[in-house]
Amino acid sequence: MIKIHILDCGSTFVDEALPLSNRSKNPLAFSGLGRKKNHQIEVPVTAYLIEHPQALILVDTGWDAAVRKDARRYEGFVNYHASPGVLPEGKAVTEHLARYGYRAADIDYCILTHMDIDHAGGIGMIKDAKCIMAGRAELEAAAKSNPRYLKRLWRGIDIKAFPDEEYDLLNDGSVKLIPLPGHSAGMTGVRAEGSGGFCVIAGDCGYARESYEKLVLPGIAWNRKQAEDSLRRLQAYSRDERCIAVLMTHDPEYKTGEIIL
What is the sign of the dihedral through the CA atoms of 76, 82, 85 and 86?
Answer: positive
**60 is a site residue for Zn ion (CB under 5 A):** no
Residues 142-181 touching Zn ion, rule: CB under 5 A, are: none
193 versus 204: smaller Cβ distance to Zn ion: 204
Q: Report in angstroms how near the CB of residue 118 gets to Zn ion at its nearest.
A: 4
Query: How many residues sit close enough to Zn ion to count as binding (CB under 5 A)?
Result: 3
Q: By CB under 5 A, name the one of 8, 64, 138, 204 that touches Zn ion.
A: 204
Q: Report in angstroms how near the CB of residue 37 gets to Zn ion at its nearest.
A: 20
Q: Which stretch binds Zn ion (CB under 5 A): 126-134, 191-199, 210-218, 247-255?
A: 247-255
Q: Which of 181, 93, 171, 80 is nearest to 139 (CA)?
A: 181
Q: Which stretch binds Zn ion (CB under 5 A): 31-39, 152-160, 198-206, 221-229?
A: 198-206
Q: Report in angstroms how near the CB of residue 250 gets to Zn ion at its nearest.
A: 6
Q: Report in angstroms how near the CB of residue 96 gets to Zn ion at its nearest.
A: 18
Stated as kind and residue range, the H or E segment containing 103 is none
Per-residue three-class SS string for 187-227: CEEEEEEECCEEEEECCCCCCCHHHHHCCCCCCCCCCHHHH
60 versus 193: smaller Cβ distance to Zn ion: 60
Q: By CB under 5 A, name the one of 8, 75, 118, 251 that touches Zn ion.
A: 118
Rounded to whole angstroms, what are the CA distances from 190 to 84, 120, 232?
26, 15, 16
Q: How far apart are CA 145 and CA 124, in angstroms?
A: 21
Q: Report in angstroms how near the CB of residue 201 gets to Zn ion at its nearest.
A: 13
Q: Do 193 and 170 contact (CB within 8 A), yes or no? A: no
Q: How far apart are CA 8 and CA 247, in angstroms?
A: 13
Which residues here bind Zn ion, judged by CB under 5 A? 118, 204, 249
